[in-house]
Amino acid sequence: MRISLAWIVSVLVLTLCCESRPVVWAQSRCIVATVQPLATDAATAAFVSGGNAIDAAVAAALTLGVVDNHNSGLGGGCFILLRLADGRLVAIEGREMAPAAATRDMYLRDGQVVPELSTIGPLAVGVPGALAAYALVLEKYGQRKLEDLLLPAARIAEEGFAIDGRYAANLAKTASSLARFAATRAVLLKPDGMPYRAGEILKQPDLARSYRQVARHGTDWFYRGPYAQAVGSWMARHEGIVTAADFAHYMARQRKPIVTVYRGYTIVGFPPPSSGGVHVAQILNILENFDLRSLQAKDPVAASHLIVEALKRAFADRAHWLGDADYVDVPRGLIDKSYAARLAQTIDPCRAAKVEAHGNPPQGTSDLFGNRHTTHIAAADSDGNWVAITATVNTSFGSCVIVPGTGIVLNNEMDDFSSQPGTPNAFGLVGAENNAIAPGKRPLSSMSPTLVLQDGQPLLTVGAAGGPTIITQVVLTLLRTIDYGQTLAEAVARPRYHHQWLPDQVLVEQAFPAEWNQGLQHRGHRIEQVDQFGVTQAIGREGGKLIGIHDPRVSGKVGIGIRKKVSDTFLKE
């Protein structure tokens, strides 16, 4: 059959199955990186069926809600950052929300914080936002319908999948908490109460049913229908406070991305309630005052010392100033270059400083922002759409609550509020008044989906999992590529370090040589060595090609969707 094609171009999309290699180059321009091969496959299948990077990333996110639901899922929240083909920058926020009955001191008993209340069980749950955000981004910028992306994920939930080592380890670690809730026990543990081991098949028929209900009835089934009612009545029977009305009031929000410039590169970050966009920008602004490139070449420990000092100052500000900007004043001055220069002047290049408290950004009351848990998905397509989604249920398996019959793991994002000033949360982060609990407010997050543009064109997208270390992972990836000229693969793979002001210590991956640690200790830093931390995914443009990276610390996957234009000539041959 002849097809007349003057300008009509068919798009054939071939999927290249890219083994679990952490780095994959793409001649074509459709690429995706996630922490789970099945999620990457779902994304490449979305490309194959004509979807764009937004569809691919959402397909991955929905699949992760099945095969990686200890990290993210419909019961959690997410931030979505886009650079659209026409150059627009978009931030869609699906962060969880405190229920209407939440109160500032809800986790205090006799004046003391009871950490378990905000981490396990009904009171830990915030109203989930991920599904609303996925639906919104698809409706506005996708090419596929939500139902088309839900159904393949439902099939995996029903037929089951072999759990990987990381899933099995997290199951084993949380088994006793999971066992406290009947439906959770039935879904995630074996009939004898033991956790599944790596390689064993986990089937989730309830979750499959929930996905199919959303596919059939839309998000109303979740936010205004049977799911919201089931959660509300379960909560009422178990001393929880989330109601069906809280679900009905939930809305994903479109926000204004944070745009700053670092050494000529445009850095696009996520605004509050993420702290990531603000502090990635602030840390880079502080470090712009130093010649990191030559310092790194001469004395890498001296360069790392400066970075640690910048992190410390930014995290001190985070603890004081950051919160949901719809509720509290978050000064724009935090990303002001002159403020960063002031902070940079307080850094002694030879000695660790004791940072006692937050700084005072300019116009702190008048110029305000308007308005190895967790997962990150990076995707880009041939039209020039670039997508960064970070999604979470907070700590492994969130609150450990699954409402019977639903299969959906509910988050424990309420722990990201500061329960009491100065009392650390599950990540050791302290907060202040700005991040206190209030009804309808969204807890502060460290999730930092980030885009880098050069001359208006997308150059890199990066994001990570791992609580507050997310901010540091993103900063290190940017510094290593922009300042040190490392490839994206090196930047992600090389050992990491992190400082979050409190506790006053540098978290250091074991792969650093002893001399490096000693170099920091000589400057007065306390070193806390850990095996590894964090999981970063990234996509970049190197040598005219797209390159996708999944963190070699986990068994993720990069997938490529190749789009071939088929011309008349090609068809005649």
Q: Which residues bind ligand GLY (CB under 6 A)?
A: 374, 392, 394, 413, 416, 445-447, 467
For the bound state, the minimum distance from the C-beta of residue 421 to ligand GLY, rounded and expressed in Å, comes to 18
Residue 446 or 477 with smaller CB distance to ligand GLY: 446
CA separation (Å) from 402 to 180, 231, 375, 406, 422? 11, 9, 20, 7, 31
C-alpha angle 422/376/443, rounded to 5°? 30
CA separation (Å) from 89 to 8, 55, 211, 252, 384? 30, 17, 30, 17, 12
DSSP codes, 419-445: SSTT---TTS----GGG---TT----B
Residue 385 or 445 with smaller CB distance to ligand GLY: 445
For the bound state, the minimum distance from the C-beta of residue 411 to ligand GLY, rounded and expressed in Å, comes to 8
* Residue 91 β-bridge partners: 81, 255
* CA dihedral of residues 350, 482, 281, 361 (deg, nearest 10): 40
**Residues 390 and 376: beta-carbon distance below 8 Å:** yes
Judged on CB neighbours under 10 Å (0-12, 13-18, 19+), 63 is buried
Residue 108 or 426 with smaller CB distance to ligand GLY: 426
What is the phi-psi region of residue 422: left when phi exceeds 0, alpha when psi lies from -120 to 50, beta otherwise? left
Q: What is the spatial distance between Cα 314 and Cα 283, in angstroms, rounded to a whole number?
A: 6
For the bound state, the minimum distance from the C-beta of residue 392 to ligand GLY, rounded and expressed in Å, comes to 5
Residue 68 or 413 with smaller CB distance to ligand GLY: 413
**Residues 23 and 558: beta-carbon distance below 8 Å:** yes
Catalytic site residue from 374, 375, 395, 536: 374
For the bound state, the minimum distance from the C-beta of residue 419 to ligand GLY, rounded and expressed in Å, comes to 14
**Residues 531 and 509: beta-carbon distance below 8 Å:** yes
Residue 119 or 445 with smaller CB distance to ligand GLY: 445
Residue nearest to ligand GLY (CB): 445
**374 tagged catalytic:** yes
For the bound state, the minimum distance from the C-beta of residue 413 to ligand GLY, rounded and expressed in Å, comes to 6
Residue 266 or 374 with smaller CB distance to ligand GLY: 374
For the bound state, the minimum distance from the C-beta of residue 446 to ligand GLY, rounded and expressed in Å, comes to 4
For the bound state, the minimum distance from the C-beta of residue 394 to ligand GLY, rounded and expressed in Å, comes to 4
Phi, psi for 297 (deg, rounded to 5): -65, -35
Residue 141 or 533 with smaller CB distance to ligand GLY: 533
Q: What is the spatial distance between Cα 389 and Cα 91, in angstroms, rounded to a whole number?
A: 10
Which helix (H) or strand (E) segment is 294 a member of?
helix 292-298
Token representation of residue 439: 């009804």
User: Do β-strands 450-454 and 265-269 pair in parallel, antiparallel, or remain unpaired?
Assistant: antiparallel
For the bound state, the minimum distance from the C-beta of residue 333 to ligand GLY, rounded and expressed in Å, comes to 23
Residue 303 or 447 with smaller CB distance to ligand GLY: 447
* Residue 81 β-bridge partners: 91, 388
User: Do β-strands 506-509 and 527-530 pair in parallel, antiparallel, or remain unpaired?
Assistant: parallel
Residue 71 or 266 with smaller CB distance to ligand GLY: 71
Q: What is the spatial distance between Cα 559 and Cα 496, in angstroms, rounded to a whole number?
A: 25
For the bound state, the minimum distance from the C-beta of residue 503 to ligand GLY, rounded and expressed in Å, comes to 17
Length of the chain: 573
- Residues assigned a catalytic role: 374
